[in-house]
Structure 1
Amino acid sequence: MSYAIIGFGKIGQALAKAFARSGIEVSVATTRDPESFASDATAIGPGIIPKRLADAVNADVLFLAVRYESHRDVAKALPSWEGKTIIDVTNAYGVSPEELGSLPSSKVVEQAFTGARLVKGFNHLIASVLEQEPRVQGGRRVVFLASDDEGAAKQAGELAENLGFAPIALGGLSEGGLLVQARGNSWGKLIFKDLIKFD
């Protein structure tokens, strides 16, 4: 299984740190030339591989960690995303419900990535929290996952476990997904909730 993080701002780098801690190799890409962020990637760890977007999208599982407004530009990198799982880490804060066609933002993202299996996840924590060691006081930091595809949600959950987090499934994008998405100038009820699960 191969992994990529598309977007290398604060959230993308926080995710890369989680991969580095767990010793799991991941490609990182932006719309910029990889040389422009290679030193930042190297500083995180040897398994963080800077790539061109056209190469990074060959991964099996991709974290979409760009600004919500940029998701369509990323989607153009492939004519079909069949067989790939996209973990949507975007937040559509400031985007009106009308602009979203009254859909959850992840449904709009899903439409752009033709054929992909989409999971909403890892987006409810701010970067400074997401980048921390997820094992806390004998428990594990929670990440919420929502998807209309049970197989994709399970796959994302297993990856979250491997990264040291405690995944909690919220159900479908139109139900649980609304709890972890921004719309207009409001945030879902679970956004910014830093919870620890004790086994």
Structure 2
Amino acid sequence: MDFGFIGAGTIGQGIAAHLVAAGHRVVLSARRGPAALRDTVARLGPSAAAGTVAEAAAADMVFLAVRWADIPAALAGVPAWDGRILVDTTNQLGPTPADYVDLGTDTGSEFVARHAPGARVVKAFNTLFAQYIVPDPRHAAGRQLLFYAGDDADAKEALRAVAEEIGFAPVDAGSLRDGGRLMQVGGGPLSALHALKQD
């Protein structure tokens, strides 16, 4: 599989590094353009490349890792998704973690799905603080749990397999709506639940 990243901050780079270590090709993009990511991809290694958002979004599985306020603009220029998988790693937060964006009855990933018509959206990685994503998720006491949710069974299975491959212990939280509510900041019981699975 090829992987793309819309957003190349700490979360995006952390997931990309795990994928590169597992032997996959990744394309990272940022709003400042490919040239701004030259040093980042050099650190990640030869199977990492910088590209435009459209180039990153052409991958088999694409990770959305931008700030909440930047989601509409980040997804606006993406060509038709045509069923490609979009992994939503975002949380509905404003400029500071205390600024929770209330969407009423919607979940954050339902908001994302409306801005990415035709994508098979899977929610994942948003319940973990960066310090639990960037290092190796395998520890002496067990593997880092990774909750995920979505409405497409095949897309969820693809994400589950990738998460297993890079060392996480994936746990299916349910549908994009019900599982998304469990996972979201602002009251979701799985948010910031940094637990390990003993193998």
TM-score by length of 1: 0.91
Equivalent of 2:101 in 89, 96, 99: 96
Code of the residue aligned with 2:67 in structure 1: it is: R
Residue number in structure 2 paired with 1:51: 51
Equivalent of 2:108 in 105, 108, 124: 105
Structure 1 residue 101 displacement after superposition: 4.6
Structure 1 residue 105 displacement after superposition: 1.0
Structure 1 residue 138 displacement after superposition: 5.7
Structure 1 residue 153 displacement after superposition: 0.8
C-alpha contact 1:14 1:128 (8 A) present in aligned 2: no
Residue number in structure 2 paired with 1:149: 152
Residue number in structure 2 paired with 1:181: 184
Residue number in structure 1 paired with 2:6: 6
Residue number in structure 2 paired with 1:160: 163
Q: Which runs of at least 4 in structure 1 moved beyond 6 Å after TM superposition?
A: none
Give the secondary structure class of the aligned counterpart of 2:114: helix
TM-score by length of 2: 0.91
Identity %: 35
- Deviation per residue, 1:146-175 (Å, 9 max, x gap): 001111111110111111111100001221
Alignment of 1:63-74 (within 5 A): 63-74=63-74
CA distance in 2, matches of 1:95, 1:81: 29
Code of the residue aligned with 1:29 in structure 2: it is: S
C-alpha contact 1:4 1:27 (8 A) present in aligned 2: yes
Code of the residue aligned with 2:127 in structure 1: it is: H
Give the secondary structure class of the aligned counterpart of 2:155: helix
Worse-superposed segment, 50-59 or 81-90:
50-59
Structure 1 residue 22 displacement after superposition: 1.8
Structure 1: give runs of 5+ residues left out of the alignment: none
Q: How many residues align?
A: 194
Structure 1 residue 143 displacement after superposition: 0.7
